[in-house]
Every structure is written in C-alpha cells, then in structure tokens.
Structure 1
Amino acid sequence: MQKALTYAEVGATREGPLPAGYDHVFRDVRLGEGRTTYEKAVDGLFHWQMHRAAGLSVRDAPGPAAPGVDVTLRLLFLSIPCRVVYTIDEPNRRGFGYGTLPGHPESGEEAFFVVLKDDGEVRFQLRAFSRPANFLVRLGSPVAKQVQRYATNRYVSAMQQVSRG
C-alpha cells in the first residue's frame, strides 16, 4: 500500500496560481538553443541526472520519472521521500511534478519543466509550493528557506550542465 501524500493540492504546480498558505518558488532560466539541447535536458530531468548533478543521492527510483513512481532523495543525513504525481509530455514542453511523502521535512509539491520556444530557445522552469512538515522544521524555518533556495539554485546549475551533455 502506498503512503499518502502530505498535502491536499495535488497537481497544483502544473499551471495557474499556486495555493495559498505555502511559500512559493518560481524560476525560469535559459538553458540554450535547439532541439538537441532540449532533448538532452529532458533526458537528464526524467532520468534523475539533474538531482544527482545537484548533489543529491537518488534512491529507490525504479526508472525514469513517471506518475506513481516513488523516489527517495538523500542529502547528507536528510531523507527526502517524494512521489511523481504527474508528467507533461507535449512536443515542446516536458516535465513532471512530485509531491512530498511522510518523512519529508517539507509538505508540498515541486515541478520541473523543459520548454522549447518557437524561436528555438530552451528554458528550464521550476514551480513549487511548500511549508514545514513538522514543528522542528517550522522552528528552523529561516534555515529551511535558505536550504530551499540553495537546492533551487543547484537544480538550475545542474540543468545547465545536463543540457550541455
């Protein structure tokens, strides 16, 4: 039996406004140009290379990101269990969103998209909403926000690296 997600707004990172009552993160950065860059970025995203290049260990992922796939990310002593809740598979926009599972220090959802624009520009977009999952994390909220910002910056750097192949 699968564990339940730790938040109610499943899929809210797909598009539109993010839910109230959470901290929000938005990033939209240029990765490069052309279909080759786009395909490399998509492959790196779906095969967890972005996470590895960002310094996380990827555990338990049975394969590429797909709806229902549970993955445990690790950073030092921290266990970060997540479930892929949806994927986007359009000709020029691919990505996925995953949500937090019990044991994750935050409660919420994070989504990653690779977009090939009409002019050939490739963009990496990240959308997330989260809040502390327990009292200890809430107590350390300023530190948790710094960690979130650090992780987001690492994801951006990792995708820039992955998209170059």
Structure 2
Amino acid sequence: MAEDMKVIVFKLGTEEYGIEVERVQTIERMLPITRVPKTYSFVKGVVNLRGVVIPVIDLGGRFSLPEAEYTDQTRIIIVTVSDMQVGFIVDSANDVVDLNEDDIETPPEIVGGVKAKYLRGVAKLGDERLLIMLNLHEVLNKSEIISLESMEG
C-alpha cells in the first residue's frame, strides 16, 4: 500500500514545488547572508541560525531560472540532505498538503524549466493543481555537497 506523506509547498516563479516535511528542519524569513568567495553562483553564502552555520542556495538559481527579487514573502527552507543542513531560498512557502505516494507520477523531461533529474515526480492535487516534487539528492549532487561541507562552521 502506498504511503501517505505531508509535503511543504513552496513557489519559485509561477510553479509550485514540494519537499517532504520530514526533510524540512525549519522555514525562516530572509536572514543576513554572508557571501563566501569561490563558490557556485547559486550558492548565496552562509547564515548563522541559532549558532549553526548553514550554507544557503538560491533554488531558482540552481535550476537556472531567472533570479527573483527578494520580498517579504521570500523564505529560506532549511532541509537536511545527506546529514547536512542546507538552506534553500524560495519565493514563498505557505502551505502543507497531504499526498499519497500513488499521486506522484514520473516527471516529464523538463518541468517549468527544471531538468527531470532534479525532480522526484509531479503530484496532482485535485483537478487543477500540479506540485513538482524535488529530488533533494540530485538538487545537491555529491561534488556540491563536498564543497558546501567545507563552508560549514
């Protein structure tokens, strides 16, 4: 039987994306970001969150989407990937939905400008709404994780 899961819904541009709740540590308003030299362009730097230094990535930039202006809706979603905390900057995060594993279909080659390797699938929410589920292990591939680990305090 397929498992039920809770998913945090966030927006990048006009598309809605989802990350499983158990991977999300916290969702924060924008924090002061300290730039780090010689990193990928989508790595915005690090934040100090309650004494923990966490690398922060502009998720839209990671997917080569046009960079959005930060607003009062902009959020940093702190997730755990491969035993490491990473912050993803997103346009907004304001919803939690219940999904069943059966609701998630294999993604087409490109969805909303994002390559399929970064995606776990596309979930249908009702008749109108599609939710793009991220594959966090691909969003941060191994070499990127190694370079981000060297940034952690």
Establish whether TM, by shorter chain, passes 0.5.
no
Q: Which has the higher contact order (CA 8 A, sep 6+)?
A: 1
TM-score (norm 1): 0.29
| Higher-helix-fraction structure | 1
TM-score (norm 2): 0.30
